[in-house]
Amino acid sequence: MSDITMKFDLPVPMRDGTVLMADVAWPAGDGPFPVLVERTPYDKNYRSTANFDTIDGLRAGFIIVRQDTRGSGKSEGEWMPMKYEREDGYDTIAWAATLPKSNGKVGTFGGSYTGSTQWSSAIAHAPELRAMAPLVTWSDPADGLMFRGGAVELGLNSWWGLMNALPHFLHTYPPEIAFPKMGQALGHFAALKERFWELPAAAQPFFVDLGMPDVGVARALEDRSTMDESRVDGHYEKLSVPSLNIAGWYDVFVQGSVDNYVGMRAQGAATRLIVGPWSHSSLNAGATLGEVGEVNFGLGMLSPGGEQISKINFDWYDHWLRDTPATSAHESGVLIFVMGANAWRAETDWPLARAVTTPLYLDEESALRWDAPESTDAASTYEYDPADPVMTRGGNLVMGSDYPAGPYDQRIAEERDDVLVFTTAPLELDVEITGRISATLFAATDGPSTDWVVRLCEVDSEGVSRNIVDGITRVHTEAGRIDEVTIDLWSTSILIKAGHRLRAHVTSSNFPRWDRNLNTGEPANVGTTIRVAQQRILHDAAHPSRIDLQIIPA
C-alpha cells in the first residue's frame, strides 16, 4: 500500500472554461493501467462501498478517479442537477484517458445520480469510454425519478432536494446568506413529514424559499424538454458501450435499470443485468444483514451468484479495459434473485421467454379470481379525500428514514374505506411471478382529474399482507366517463408459496411518496384547492378490471 500514489483536487478544465476538481489514486507499478471514473454531486471525499471499493480497485490495478460534478464539492460552476453532465462527462473521460500511467481506456462506476452520469458520458459518445457499471439508476426521468404515471415523485423530490441543498448553499450564496439558509434547511429536514403536506406540491413554499433546485421537477413542469438532459431511453440505438446494470426489486429505479438492459440488448450491445431484493441503499456497507423492509432474504442476497459485487465489477472491466480474454462474466444475460425462494438464478435474457401473461380479475365480494367475471353489472365505489390520503408504507422508494423501502405489512391501509381490497383463495401450488406487471382498471370519477393506484400484495399463512409492487396513473377525464386505465406496476421476481394468497389494492393515493391529486385538474406546481372525489371501479364481464401477471410455468 505504501507504493500507492494519491493526488487531491486536480483541476479538470471543461470546454467552457469551468474547472472541475478530481482526486486520483494510482496503483503500485509502472502501468499502463486502465482508469475508472466516478462523477458525483455528493462530494468526492465520500467513499461509498456499495458496489465498488477504492482499495480493492487499486489492488486490482486500476487508476481511480473521483470527481465533484459542476457546482459541487470543490468544483466550479452552477449547481443545476443533470444539466451539464453530458458535456462535462465527455471532457472528463478525455482528460482521464491522458493521465500518467493510463492505457487510454476508461470505465465508469457509481450508483443513482452517479450511475446517470455514466450514461451521460456514453450518450455524449466519449470515445475513450469502453465500459460502465451503473448501479440503481433510471432510464426515463418521467418514470421514477421526477414523475411516475404522471404524478410527482414527491417523497424523492423533497427529500433529495433538501439533502443536496445543504452542501450546495456555499456554491450559490455568500456565507452571510448561505449559513442562515443552511439552518432553515436543517429545520425543514427535521420537520419533513409535515413539510410534505405543503401546497402546491411541485413548488412547495418551504423549498422555493431556499432558492435551490430540486431534482428537476420544477424545471420539467415549466419545460418538459429539460428531462432530456437525464434521459437514457431513446438513445440506445446510438450506444455501444458495454454496460453492467445492477438493480434492486425494491429500488425506486428498478424499472429504469431493467429498461436500460433491455434497450441495450435490443441493439446487440454487450450488457448484463443483476437484480437483487434490494432497496436503494441495501448494498451500502453495514446497511443490511439480509433484511429489506420486514423480510429477511438471507445473507446470500448480498452475493449475486456467490460473488461480491465489487469482484463482479472488476471482472467486468478486465476484458473491456485490459483486452483480457472474454469469459462468461462478459456475456450478455441476467442474474435475478427470486424472492420467496430466496435464491439467485441465471437467465439468458429479460423478459423471460417462458413467462405466461396471466390475468387476475377483480370480482364481486372482494374476490380476486383467475377466471374472468361473469356478472353483467358489478362495481365498487369509494370516496377519495386528498386531505386524508393513504399513507406510504414501504415499496420502491427513496425518501428518507421516516419512509423505509421494501415489503411491509399493509393491513392498516386495508382497513380504510378508500382502499378497495380483492383477495384470491389460498394457492394450491407454488406460483412464481417473474416479469413486468400491469393493471387495467375500468374506472370513473366525478371530476376532471384523479389518480388510480394499484398495489399487489402477498398474504402469508398468518394473514400478514405485504406489498410486492405498485403503480399510479394520473388521468385527465370527464366527470362520469368510464376510462380504461393502464397502471404500470413495474417488474419483480417472487415465489408465492402454496397456502399463501395474492391481494390487490385499488385506491387513489400513496402519500407522500407521490403527490396528492387534488381532483381539480390544476397543475401540481400551482394547485392548492382540494376537492373530494367519488370513485367507481367497474369489474364485470364488459369491464374486466384486472392485474396481468407474468407467471413462470412449474
Instruction: Kindly list the catalytic residues.
Output: 112, 251, 280
- Give the cell for residue 226: 429539460
Cell of 204: 412547495
The angle subtended at Cα 88 by Cα 87 and Cα 89, nearest 5°, is 90
Segment holding 22, helix H or strand E: strand 19-26
- Which pairing describes strands 356-362 and 368-369: parallel, antiparallel, or unpaired? antiparallel
Q: For 268, left (φ over 0), alpha (ψ -120 to 50), or beta?
A: left
Sequence-distant (6+) residues with CB within 8 A of 60 are 27, 314
Nine-digit cell string for 284? 451500502
CB 247 within 8 A of CB 259: no
CA dihedral 497, 505, 282, 79 (to 10 degrees): 160
Q: Are 363 and 369 in contact (CB under 8 A)?
A: yes
Calpha distance 318→369 (Å, rounded): 50
Task: Give CA–CA dist 409/155, Å, rounded.
Answer: 20
Long-range contacts of residues 341-345, Cβ cutoff 8 Å, at least 24 apart: 341/432, 341/495, 342/297, 342/298, 342/300, 342/301, 343/300, 344/300, 344/304, 344/305, 344/306
- Longest Cα separation, the chain: 79
Amino acid at 396: N
Q: Report helix, strand or coil for 174.
A: coil
For residue 273, the one-letter residue type is L
Q: Which residues contact 99 (CB under 8 A, 6 or more apart)?
A: 24, 35, 63, 65
| 90-to-7, 82, 104, 224, 228 alpha-carbon distances in Å | 22, 14, 14, 24, 17
Three cell numbers written together for 440: 387495467
The DSSP result for 365-409, as a single string, is GGBEESSPP--SS-EEEEEE-TTSPPBP-SBS----TTS--B--B
Q: Give the DSSP H or E segment for 147.
A: strand 147-148
CA–CA separation, 158 vs 386, rounded Å?
19
Q: DSSP readout, 290-322?
A: SEETTEE--GGGGSGGGS-HHHHHHHHHHHHHH
